[in-house]
Amino acid sequence: MAVVVAVVLAVALIFFVIDRTQTADAIRRNYPVIGRFRHLFTELGEFFRQYFFAMDREELPFNRAQRDWVNRASEGMGNTVAFGSTRNLSIPGTPLFVNAAFPPLDDQFAKTAPLRIGPGAKQPYDAPSIFNISGMSFGALSRPAVQALSRGAAKAGIWMNTGEGGLSPFHLEGGCDVVFQIGTAKYGVRDETGALSDERLGAVAAHENVRMFEVKLAQGAKPGKGGILPGAKVSAEIAAIRGIPEGHDSISPNRHLEVDDWGDLLDLIGHIRDVTGKPVGIKTVVGAIEPLDALFSEVTERGAESAPDFITIDGGEGGTGASPMPLMDLVGMPIREALPLVADLRARHGLRDRIRLIASGKLVNPGDIAWALAAGADFVTSARGFMFSLGCIQAMKCNRNTCPTGITTHDARLQKGLVVEDKFEKVARYAKGVIKEVEMIAHSVGVAEPRLIERKHVRLVQNDGRSCQMDELYPHYSDPTIS
């Protein structure tokens, strides 16, 4: 016992000397040894709040109720709850679905039919699912995470977006439909100078499973800044796929260097569509509606054939592996405001049947997806929802290569916790669970399938606590003749 006490005192003395003589931390300098506990408690505070102090609906960015729903769905467990809802229905913006007096009977339900994207492309895509996997790069995600998503997407019959990190063998091995994202650095389709390579673009398009191409202008977590992959995560394998040096920070330009205006963008879209023969769309964040009005006007002037085949609208609340806090917190319109505005703009320009709208940004539960379809989306994609289905615990360590669940780390020891054979089943069950319950909401409001949900089926809570029908706030959604 005396030896243990002596060792403890010796260690405390060493820390005392270190703390008193260091100059970087004033707390440790003024309060040697005990000042270290401040840092320990700060680190542990996030953990304790998540598990012991935050109520089910309080935590951000996703609360326990949202995560628990995903977990139960991915486990194939029943999603019924008892006693009463814990949701605060008086918060402004809360959607309330309008139940029908006489909903359809079981034999009156309809299966959601595939929806065609890119009718003018040589190889248009008949997308089978309303709910799909949003862009997450190999590099930002680990190998087993991408493998599980690919196999799960194939089993659920949904598409998987590669993110801007290029096409890896792990995206393809599951056999799912793939949307290849072209970021501002052109990873995977760039030449030695970093410019777009038609040869490499054609090589990617040659894969039958690659169904569409998405030109990324911006994402919700960091509008105006390119992707960030810390050098510690740029392995030789990732460097080869992206076409960049190993071990160096992978930072994309904040925009496509060859695109200075909407005309340039439409030229780029047309070029990629000509080279690949497949539908091409864009991903962006809405800061104001006027720029997109200018895009639609340019399309109208050139002709509908020049239009992007789809537009993915990412909300300012979207997530990422690494982003500066001011951009994460302060830039970009939330999806709840942006999506109805863009849908109305598309209708006013008569492009509703030409350009498909894809909604993204913190949409993980069935109510989120049903709201987005009512607001005007043709499809919904989710990234973090599928991360939760893989076992993400919201540890907020995506940028540190220390993810405890193996999802966003390239540490082989931590990756062992993510067993692909188990997790891909959970991915598939989550996707199917979301679609099933969106269908249930559709039937409850009186329509046969989800894409028939309209704004008249949703009420939004206002500041005074009363609700207002959504089509009163956005009345021009379905009328393409309004100017």
Q: Reduce the DSSP state of residue 64 to 3 states and report it.
A: helix
What are the start-end ranges of the E strands in 333-399?
A: 356-360, 379-382
Given a contact cutoff of 8 angstroms between Cβ atoms, the answer to whether 15 and 37 are in contact is no
Write down the pLDDT at residue 482. 42
The pLDDT tens digits for 450-474 are 999 999 999 999 998 899 999 888 8
Domain with CATH 3.20.20.70 in the chain: 115-473
Write down the pLDDT at residue 340. 94
Look up the CATH superfamily of 115-473.
Answer: Aldolase class I (3.20.20.70)
Give 228's contacts (C-beta < 8 A, 6+ positions apart): 222, 249, 250, 251, 252, 320, 321, 322, 323, 399
Q: How far apart are CA 88 and CA 86, in angstroms?
A: 7
The pLDDT tens digits for 47-96 are 565 555 555 555 556 666 777 777 787 887 777 666 667 777 778 888 99
Give 115's contacts (C-beta < 8 A, 6+ positions apart): 126, 127, 356, 378, 379, 451
Q: What is the largest CA-CA distance in the chain?
A: 88
Write down the pLDDT at residue 357. 98
| Residue that is written with structure tokens 């919700």 in the block | 220
The tokens describing 287, both together, are: 């800061």
The pLDDT tens digits for 111-133 are 889 999 999 999 999 999 999 99
Write down the pLDDT at residue 109. 82
Write down the pLDDT at residue 483. 41
Q: What is the pTM of this model?
A: 0.85
Q: Which of 58, 96, 85 is nearest to 462 (CA)?
A: 96
**Which residues of the chain fall below pLDDT 70?**
26, 39-64, 80-84, 220-226, 316-330, 476-483
Q: How far apart are CA 443 and CA 455, in angstroms?
A: 15
Q: Which of 342, 347, 345 is nearest to 359 (CA)?
A: 342
Write down the pLDDT at residue 479. 46
Write down the pLDDT at residue 87. 74
